[in-house]
Structure 1
């Protein structure tokens, strides 16, 4: 199946897009920079990044990455990503598009990066199917995501807060079981590190996080 050219609904979160750069700067000052470096440390070849936002990952792509196709649906965030792409240490092309309908050819990518984005997507199975479509056999999915806590009490708190959280966080859901969704999509998780992202020693409903790598089935040779 080739990349579809039909138009999908536009994604607009104007208020969230205005405040997100400040949210991200605060998170990076308290540890998110190290998380991004960990996520991308082993990335190589041609990468598709879904939901690239302002381009916060761009400075952290290692020299083994030949090209990044950064897909972002929100217009304001996409405009902010363009100067970040120009300053990146590897070639980055910013494209308009949605994770559920990537503007990328079949099997064109060695890796797909999902960084704090699967929590915002309405149709996660479709987005992961698109990630698999654009990956070559044996290609890798690099993921860094908010997830549902493994602590039942904290998970109940997340469910309560999640009644309003998506309205304030650009559609972000606190209760996604991302690792299960990835394996349900046919990927094999090679490694995953769960942790609580604490800021000044304090947790928040979005503290449970995971960073990991999953592989698409098939020969892993380029």
Structure 2
């Protein structure tokens, strides 16, 4: 198991997030199912949190490597994995150093996690590394707002208190552009609002989509 640094420990946020998940899933469960629909083979999910996606994995999935750096959330995810029919191995690790071999996964899943990683480019390069040629990335992420005024609010929050209060979350990232810069081709992208997912601003809007890895730049920092 990969050691977890102090930067990955968010004990207060983790407990609050775990309590909020059942409330969020009253609206979000349908989008979790859509996120995972049609997956098969070997899957890696990055930043699994409490394991809220686990019950939505289709039976065609052979195995899931579930990576969660936060110790409290990882323990909850391990308990959730024990209750699911799909084989799920919950392990520690960080998005920029995934505990998987090159080209070992058929698909990768991120769900409300790319907002929290310190270096999204490094995380996406790692995802590209572990995917086989033609492998797919499924993502459900909140992104920057559509209006200039709301984007300004997000920028202010991101450089002040929001990341400290929300486990490293950043509200104003352009995640779709980051995915494309990492060598993926986005095949499908749906834009969702608070009225659909129940997740309020500033963690809105969200994007739900699929991307295929088409080029590899190597692990960040190796060149």
**TM-score using structure 2 length:** 0.90
Larger mean CA deviation between 147-156 and 114-123 belongs to: 147-156
2:202 is equivalent to residue 208 of structure 1? no
Distance 1:200 1:130, change over 3 A: closer
Q: Is the alpha carbon distance of 1:150 and 1:200 closer, same or farther for their aligned partners in structure 2, counting shifts above 3 Å?
A: closer
From 167, 171, 174, the equivalent of 2:171 is 174
- Given the alignment, which residue of 111, 118, 127 partners 2:107? 111
User: Which residue of structure 2 lines up, in the alignment, with residue 188 of structure 1?
Assistant: 185
> What is the alpha-carbon distance in structure 1 between the residues aligned to residue 168 and residue 13 of structure 2?
9
Deviation at 1:199, TM superposition (A): 7.6
Aligned equivalents of 1:214, 1:106: Cα separation in 2 = 18
Equivalents in 1 of 2:196, 2:140: separation in Å? Answer: 17
Distance 1:78 1:8 in 2: 11
Give 1:120's aligned residue: 116
Q: 2: distance between equivalents of 1:73 and 1:142?
A: 20
1:35 corresponds in structure 2 to 31
Give unmatched runs, 5+ long, in structure 2: 216-223
- The size of the alignment, in residue pairs, is 213
Check whether the contact 2:2–2:92 (CA below 8 A) recurs between aligned residues: no
Structure 1 residue runs of 4+, over 6 Å off?
A: 199-202
Measured in 1, the distance between the counterparts of 2:181 and 2:170 equals 19
Assess if the C-alpha contact under 8 Å between 2:3 and 2:92 holds in 1. no
Partner SS state of residue 198, structure 1? helix
Mapped partners of 2:111, 2:65: distance in 1 = 14
Which deviates the most, 5-14 or 118-127? Answer: 5-14
Q: Is the 8 A contact 2:144 2:204 kept in 1?
A: no
Q: Is the 8 A contact 1:54 1:84 kept in 2?
A: yes
1:205 CA drift (Å): 1.0
- Superposition deviation, residue 207 in structure 1: 1.9
- Residue 158 (structure 1) shift: 1.8
Question: With structure 1 as the length reference, what TM-score do the two structures score?
Answer: 0.90
1:135 & 1:202 partners in 2: Cα distance? Answer: 30
| CA RMSD across the alignment | 1.9
Report if the CA contact (8 A) 2:4-2:69 is conserved: no
